[in-house]
């Protein structure tokens, strides 16, 4: 029999309620380890209970070791902070729209699982022969390439190639303003390590790539969203958010926005940069989808000249997700500081991945591969779009390219319900609210057209929609 059992039931409930309130404050880091607990009198008023109830609750928490009494000085949160569980941070989301859960589903999906919700191309859409040829060439490379750390900035010839590629988009970076990283995600992580403090505010598009939420949660920043339109962020809302929240950083995709496939217009780009100037905002332009564009659209980094814009990218989407190689282009003094961040976080980058990317970028493989890929994606985009429209699932915009189609379900349907049902049939979907900070995209789904060729998807989708609509009518 516990102590609670021998108490008056209501008093037991009240004590439990106070204990829970303190536990929540500790879990949510409102009360850090070592912090003093609210005074007995103060907290009894806050909770609307008697002082003796609070005394009882504090004593029990002390008995559990959650807090410690210090003679004559009150109660303090005990010991060390609990481990920083990302799953327990942030909003409590149902699994279907939890970014970590969705990532794990996609990363873990075995053979026979359809992944229209995943963010990358199927294995046979990558330049397989080019990769094999690159590996054979690498097997004959000098010993240093096979065994040594890369230089702090990373393989010079690859940075030279990247500088030329950036120049095509009007970004005058030069190889010394480019640092290689292990991935686009690591690039963003290093930028965050360098520029944001825990508690800072960071602005993202709503909707945006869901791992931005995950990464920012890991950096313990406050995330604020700005609605995304088919031409870029809603500039009126953007201005208002800047004035109100003074975010340190804005993270976005200009070329082919993830998940919407939209493209930043020149007028919006200009306005965003003007506001960024006015409010001292730094912008990270994640240009990971650059090479999917049919023709170059405006880049914030080009308009701005890498003054307050940092551009990041990688080859995970176009070349291989298995070959880890990304980059950061930024102004000189920031690159200098970012080298230290990279050394601290991962010491050197491997020469391996960089050499392989370089070989494929320079031997003609990549250009031919991307030409073919754009054509193939355009055709698939048309087919998938037509199939979805026929089911009354309507694209929000017609993307100029890329693999993503951001679609709206008929009224009354919830994409997370549909996603849950299809998961039971081994089909991984990407429900809209995974991407939406405000959770305002419950009717949306992001389709990866390259992963949506199997007719089973549409059959299962149709069945799930019918079931959900029926349930909706009965409810």
Segment 174 to 193, residues that bind its own copies, using CB under 8 A: 182-183, 185-186, 189, 193
CB of 135 to its own copies, least distance (A): 4
Residues of this chain, 398-417, that bind its own copies according to CB under 8 A: none
CA 103 to chain centre: 10
The alpha carbon of residue 33 and the mean position of all alpha carbons in its chain are separated, in whole angstroms, by 29
How is residue 116 written in tokens?
């229209």
Nearer to its own copies, 17 or 376 (CB): 376
Give the shortest CB-420-to-its own copies separation in angstroms: 20
Instruction: Assess contact for 204 and 214: CB atoms under 8 A.
Output: no
Q: Which of 48, 72, 112, 198 binds its own copies (CB under 8 A)?
A: 198
Instruction: Out of 37, 166, 195, 403, name the contact with its own copies by CB under 8 A.
Output: 195
Q: Near its own copies by CB under 8 A, which window of 50-58, 126-134, 223-231, 414-422?
A: 126-134
Nearer to its own copies, 185 or 385 (CB): 185
At 359 the three-state DSSP class reads helix
Please report, as residue ranges, which positions from 310 to 339 form the binding site for its own copies (by CB under 8 A). 316, 320-324, 334, 337, 339
Sheet holding 282-286, edge to edge: 178-181, 326-329, 309-314, 282-286, 249-252, 201-206, 222-229, 232-233
Residue 25 in contact with its own copies, rule: CB under 8 A: no
What 3-state DSSP class applies to 326?
strand
Burial class (CB in 10 A: 0-12, 13-18, 19+), 179: buried
Query: Which of the ranges 115-123, 255-263, 291-299, 443-451 carries the binding residues for its own copies, by CB under 8 A?
Result: 115-123
CB nearer to its own copies: pick between 66 and 337: 337
Residue 246 binding its own copies, by CB under 8 A: yes
Residue ranges in 203-242 that form contacts with its own copies under rule CB under 8 A: 211, 214-215, 217-218
Task: Please give the size of the binding site for its own copies, defined by CB under 8 A.
Answer: 80
Query: If binding is defined by CB under 8 A, does position 123 make contact with its own copies?
Result: yes
Nearer to its own copies, 339 or 370 (CB): 339
Stretch that binds its own copies, among 16-24, 50-58, 166-174, 347-355 (CB under 8 A): 347-355
Closest C-alpha to 228, from 254, 249, 200: 254
Q: Which residues contact 449 (CB under 8 A, 6 or more apart)?
A: 377, 380, 381, 383, 384, 385, 403, 404, 405
Other Cβ atoms closer than 10 A to 402: 26
Cβ proximity to its own copies: between 195 and 300 the closer is 195
Q: Name the segment binding its own copies (CB under 8 A); options: 10-18, 36-44, 83-91, 267-275.
A: 83-91
Under DSSP, the state recorded for 280 is T
The sign of the CA dihedral 64, 70, 72, 73 is negative
From the list 292, 352, 366, 396, which residue makes contact with its own copies (rule: CB under 8 A)?
Answer: 352
Six-digit token pair at 251? 């993270």
The crossing angle, in degrees rounded to 10, of helices 9-27 and 51-63 is 60
- The answer to whether 318 and 287 have CB atoms below 8 angstroms apart is no
Binding residue (CB under 8 A) for its own copies from 2, 10, 112, 139: 139
Q: How far is the CB of 217 from its own copies (least distance, A)?
A: 7
Q: Rounded to the nearest whole angstrom, what is the least distance from the CB of residue 336 to its own copies in the complex? A: 8
Residue 194 in the binding site for its own copies (CB under 8 A) = yes
The answer to whether 28 contacts its own copies (rule: CB under 8 A) is: no
Q: Which two tokens stand for residue 363?
A: 């031997």
Binding-site string for its own copies from residue 278 to residue 307, where x marks contact by CB under 8 A and - marks none: --x---------------------------
Q: Is 346 in the site for its own copies (CB under 8 A)?
A: yes
User: Which regions of 389-428 does DSSP assign to beta strands (E)?
Assistant: 394-395, 404-408
If you write DSSP's letter for every residue of 52-93 in order, what string do you get? HHHHHHHHHHHHTTSEEEETTTEEEE-SSPPP--TTTSS---
Q: How far is the CB of 120 from its own copies (least distance, A)?
A: 7
Q: Smallest distance from the beta carbon of 330 to its own copies, in angstroms?
A: 10
Question: Angle, to 10 degrees, between the axis of helix 210-218 and the axis of helix 184-195?
Answer: 40
């Amino acid at each position: 029999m516990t102590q609670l059992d021998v108490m008056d039931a209501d008093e037991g409930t009240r004590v439990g309620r106070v204990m829970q309130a303190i536990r929540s404050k500790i879990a949510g880091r409102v009360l850090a380890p070592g912090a003093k607990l609210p005074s007995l009198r103060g907290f009894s008023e806050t909770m609307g209970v008697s002082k003796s109830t609070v005394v009882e609750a504090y004593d029990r928490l002390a008995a559990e070791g959650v807090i410690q009494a210090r003679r004559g000085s009150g109660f303090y949160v005990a010991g060390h902070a609990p481990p920083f569980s990302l799953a327990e941070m942030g909003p409590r989301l149902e699994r279907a729209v939890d970014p970590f859960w969705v990532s794990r589903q996609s990363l873990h999906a075995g053979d026979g699982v359809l992944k229209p919700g995943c963010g990358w191309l199927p294995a046979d859409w990558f330049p397989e022969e080019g990769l094999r040829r690159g590996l054979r060439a690498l097997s004959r490379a000098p010993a240093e390439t096979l065994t040594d750390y890369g230089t702090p900035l990373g393989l010079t010839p690859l940075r030279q190639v990247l500088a030329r590629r950036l120049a095509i988009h009007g970004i005058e970076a030069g190889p010394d303003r480019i640092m290689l990283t292990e991935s686009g995600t690591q690039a963003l992580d290093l930028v965050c390590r360098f520029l944001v403090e825990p508690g800072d505010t960071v602005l993202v598009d709503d909707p945006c790539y869901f791992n931005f939420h995950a990464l920012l949660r890991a950096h313990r920043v406050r995330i604020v969203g700005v609605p995304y339109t088919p031409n870029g962020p809603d500039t009126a809302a953007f201005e208002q958010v800047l004035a109100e929240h003074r975010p340190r950083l804005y993270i976005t995709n200009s070329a082919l926005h993830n998940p919407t496939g939209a493209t930043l217009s020149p007028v919006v780009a200009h306005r965003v940069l003007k506001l960024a100037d006015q409010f001292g905002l730094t912008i990270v332009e994640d240009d990971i989808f650059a090479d999917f564009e049919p023709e170059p659209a405006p880049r914030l980094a080009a308009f701005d000249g890498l003054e307050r814009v940092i551009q990041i990218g990688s080859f995970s989407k176009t070349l291989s997700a298995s070959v880890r190689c990304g980059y950061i282009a930024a102004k000189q003094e920031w690159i200098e500081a970012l080298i230290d961040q990279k050394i601290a976080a991962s010491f050197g980058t491997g020469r391996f991945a960089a050499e392989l990317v370089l070989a494929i970028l320079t031997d003609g493989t990549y250009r031919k591969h991307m030409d073919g890929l754009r054509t193939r994606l355009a055709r698939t985009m048309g087919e998938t779009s037509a199939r979805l429209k026929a089911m009354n699932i309507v694209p929000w915009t017609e993307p100029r390219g890329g693999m993503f189609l951001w679609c709206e379900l008929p009224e009354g349907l919830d994409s997370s319900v549909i996603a849950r049902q299809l998961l039971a049939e081994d089909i991984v979907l990407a429900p809209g609210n995974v991407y939406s900070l405000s959770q305002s995209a419950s009717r949306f789904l992001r389709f990866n057209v390259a992963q949506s060729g199997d007719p089973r998807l549409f059959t299962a989708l149709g069945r799930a929609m019918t079931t959900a609509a029926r349930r909706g009518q009965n409810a």
